[in-house]
Each structure stands twice: as structure tokens, then as C-alpha cells.
Structure 1
Amino acid sequence: MTVISIEPATPDRWEDLQQLFGPTGAYGHCWCVYFRRRAKDFTGSVSCSPPERGASNHETLKRVTLDGKVPGLIAYEDARPCGWVSVAPREDFIRLSRSRSLRPVDPNEPGVWSLVCFWLPPRRRRKGMGSRLLIAAIDHARACGGRVLEAYPIDTAGGRAPSAEVYTGTVRMFQKAGFTCTAHPVSGRPIARLALKEG
């Protein structure tokens, strides 16, 4: 696979993001806004039919993107979108601050960015695209002034897991990129962190 570029999801790339996710959105109507919505709002949308839930989530991502918040990065091959990583300042992901298992140890720590999701079409998986997106996310967060990049991978203990279960990435993947992985003090969930700037 020849990846031409990995670019920020700016307003002018909204159509590309829609094309990448397809008519039902990434992960079955999620549209990669799970971490951007309060649990009660997302759960409320779950009670809707899948098309209604997808429409609500689609509008959330569209609003964020067209407002210029840059919700993540899009990978392109031959000018066609082929991969996605959701990375932004940690405060953009409201669910993190309310989550018992992922709540920040220091919610007032400045300059923390979070990487919460990867999405690749099935035929693009297990070909190294996730690692390329991770490196691009590191560079993007650093260029935007981030001091720390934080992520919430799963530990596959050296094995493999279904793609739908590793949308946040794996511990091994982040460790290979230089992240330090520790257990969340309350939940024990792995938290991966990488200092982007000294001091």
C-alpha cells in the first residue's frame, strides 16, 4: 500500500471523511463520536433505530468538523481516503472526564491530547496502517502545541484480537512507538502516555 499523505480532517475534507466511513459510519453508526458525547446522550441515541442513531452521530461529527475543530487525521492512498485516527485535545472528549475507568488522574494537567480511535476499512487492516496513523497523530499533536499524548489501548498479551475490539489500539503498538503504558489507578485499564515536549 502506498500512502500518499495523512492530513488533518479540516472542513474542506468533510466529504472525504464521509466517503471513508461509508453510509452507516464507522463502527456501525458510531461515526467516531462515542468519546465526544456524554454517556446519557450516546445511550439515548442507542434507544433509537440504527439509522436514527447514525444520523445523530453523523451530525455531531459533521458539526465538529465543519466548525474547524479537526477531530482527527485522514490517510490517503492515490488521493482516496483509506484510514482514520481520532486525536484532539483531551478536553474535547467529554466522556473521558466522566468515565470511571479512564478518568484523568490530573484533569487540570495542561497540554494533554488524547488518541481515542483508529478506523480502517476491513481490507486495509493488519498492513501497518495503524502504526503510520499513530506516528502522524504524534506529529500532529506536537505541532499543535500538545505536551503529552495519551491513549487507551487494550492489552492483547502478545496475541491477536478481533479488529472491532482494538479500535483504541494495542499496548504493544503504543510501546513500540515509545509510549509508557501504566494501569489506571482505579480501573486498572492500560493508559499509554508519551511526552511530546520537555518540561
Structure 2
Amino acid sequence: MTQSTWLEKHTDLVLASNNKGKISEFNHIFETLNLPIQVIPQGHLQIEDAVEDGLSFIENAILKARHAAKHSGKPAIADDSGLCVPALGGAPGIYSARYAGEHGNDSANNHKLIQALQPLRQKHTIITGMFVCVLAFVEHAEDPLPKIFQGVWQGEILTEARGEHGFGYDPLFWLPELGKTSAELEKAEKNKISHRGQAMQAFIQSLITN
């Protein structure tokens, strides 16, 4: 079954996330498109988060998508994303949401990142990083061919937070070409260029083409 055929036969798509920020971004993207899809966050179906014990974004995205599909009986899409900083060997990477120990504590995670980078900074040193997003789509829990879509967003890591929008590491993610952090972008502007926006556009394109 091709994804375009799937679109003709299904209207519900379970989003394997309970992260309010991610849910908001997904909903905003789908609202701007004329597609007959209802995105259902897994929490609305009383589905708890999957155990993320993979060693890569791809592995974790597939694990989460299969988990949501198994417990809902519906096609599912999962996002696994995070911030990779080459100067830290790619950390926080797949552990981005729980970098400081407590899952989803953005303030603590940002503080730990600032502290981890402090010894590596010299005068005028620019520390680069990249947001990575992998989307995994499965038509059912045992789908042997999950569809994978990836986005990578390059930027720099600041020494202090700026901006009130977004979530996660957005306040530290500086975009020199725009003169703003990710947290200073309006939602629509961010969705056009972000790692998640890139991956979502690839997913949407796969739905509307044969």
C-alpha cells in the first residue's frame, strides 16, 4: 500500500507524543494544509509514552510509532528529535529531553548545556549545533517498512537564553542569518525552516504524490 493510497483510506493519524510543544507544532502544520487528516495525540487515547531504549533518533522514532499503532489500532507517526552539539561529541542528542535528569525540564536542560559548554568557550569562539528530527510513519504496529523522514537545522549555541516562544533548547539556538534565536521566531516562520518543519514537509509530500 502506497502512502497516497493510505491517505485515501484513513482520516485518523495517531501522533506518538505527549509533548505539548510538539503537538502544537504538528497541529499548526496540518491546519495550514488542505488534507483530510485528523491528528490524534496519543494521550487522548490514554496511551503512555513508549520506552525509548534505542541508540539513535531513527530507532526511537520507530519504537514510538509502533507503540502508538499497537495501542490504538491506527496508523501512527512519531517524532524523535533533539539537539546535537559536535563539541560535546553529539550530546545531548537522543537524551535531549532528559539531559539534566528530569524528562521535559527545559530550564534545567538549558542550564546544563550552558555549563557543559563553558569550559570549551574561548574569546570569540562560536559553538555550533544542529537540531535533528526524524519522523517515523507506520501503517500498523508490525509494518515491515516504516517510512522515515529527516530534517536537520544548523545554528549556534548561545551562552544565555533569548526569546519566549518555542520549547526545549529554542532559546539557546541562534540563527545568525536571521539575527534571532529559534525562540524569537513566530510559529509559522519557525515551521517553514525548522528540523521538524523540514521532516514534516517531506512526510506531507509523500502523502500527496504517488
User: What TM bracket, shorter-length normalisation?
Assistant: under 0.3
Taking structure 2 as the reference length, what is the TM-score of the superposition? 0.25
When Rg is computed on C-alpha atoms for both structures, the one with the higher figure is 2
